[in-house]
Amino acid sequence: MRIGVDGSKIPHEAGDSAVRILERAHAMGLEGVYFRSVMDVSPTLDRGLLAEVRSCADELGLYLQMGLAKVNPYAAAEAPQVRRLGDGDYTRGMVRMIEAAHEAAGVTELWVACANYQRGMPGYYVFDRFRTDAPWPDQLVAIEKFLRLLAPVARDHGVHLNIETHEEITSYEVVRLVEAVGPDVLGVTFDTANVVVRGEDPVAAARRVAPYTRATHLRDFVLGEQDGVFGRVFAPIGQGSIDWDAVLGILHAANPELPLSIENAGPTLHLPIGLDDPAWLAVHPDLDQAEVARIREMAAAYQARVDLGEALPLTELRAVPYDGDRFIEESAQALRASLARLGIAEGVNAR
């Protein structure tokens, strides 16, 4: 299990090329890069540039993963660049991205997600799950239909479209999509810190998604109230509430070669989790009360640390200046330590 980083989150200059980002990751002692979109590497899908990035990754001994875009037709308008790639056809744009990523860069594991985080919206409306103009069940039907459109192309190229456990979707729903369309063309990008926003314990979620997990976005979290709202705040791996030995053990048992990609993020974002709100509960039919109890335990454990002076209250934590390099370094150290405890550290770069 090699440790790498999300290519859109590693600190770098705005004008840096994908090659420069690979070199930066290697210099930090990391072992791979997961570019969120092939368009982050080349907005025009330049085959020569994509091949150059593949060659650079190979020379540096780095794993290379890329992504596509959203697979929710209700969110397609938020990505006009994909439609432009397809000469006005969003589906054609996605197909061209699949073809370019695989044929030029040799990438077989491709990130996709089902919605955007709607920054600036009030309350639960930051999640497309709560849209009133497009009920979430209707969105799921549309997502499955769109994935079925892409499935033959993915199958022809031998690639997997790996659905992220993003903040709007549950791990149950992701698994159902994978099983409905087919695990030969779909997989999971397991984001460890997002599932709690949907009322799920990361360890239990790991058990659900592990058979299909082919990529990861790894970060930790803490839980607590701010301004009377219970929610999640990001933290470096090993400094939050996730049981990493349990999560990594589950993932390794299912896929020993799974890349571990750190997705660093600052502590400023406090996302609401309405465990006691009937409106929130109404759109979570799969909610497991044992996992809800575990979330409450994690929140209580963090508050106990705060009371002992061992951790910062959420207000103070969110005020700490964010240092992306430090987040990555500390997270990588924590992952290596966990892998060592599990006896599966062989092959992990110790730098």
How much is the pTM? 0.94
Q: What's residue 248's pLDDT?
A: 98
Given a contact cutoff of 8 angstroms between Cβ atoms, the answer to whether 216 and 251 are in contact is: yes
CA–CA dist 258, 216 (Å, integer): 8
User: Is CATH 3.40.228.10 the classification given to domain 3-222+233-266+322-342?
Assistant: no
CB atoms within 10 A of CB 124: 17
Q: What's the pLDDT score for residue 348?
A: 43
pLDDT tens for the chain, 351 residues long, are 999 999 988 888 778 899 999 999 999 999 999 999 999 999 999 999 999 999 999 999 999 999 999 999 999 999 999 999 999 999 999 999 999 999 999 999 999 999 999 988 888 999 999 999 999 999 999 999 999 999 999 999 999 999 999 999 999 999 999 999 999 999 999 999 999 999 999 999 999 999 999 999 999 999 999 888 999 999 999 999 999 999 999 999 999 999 999 999 877 788 999 999 999 999 999 999 999 999 999 999 999 999 999 998 888 888 888 999 999 999 999 999 999 999 986 444 332
What are the structural domain ranges in the chain?
3-222+233-266+322-342
pLDDT at 265: 87
pLDDT on residue 266 = 79
The Cα 206–Cα 224 span in angstroms is 22
Nearest to 101 by CA among 32, 174, 157, 165: 157
- Write down how long the chain is: 351
pLDDT of residue 328: 96
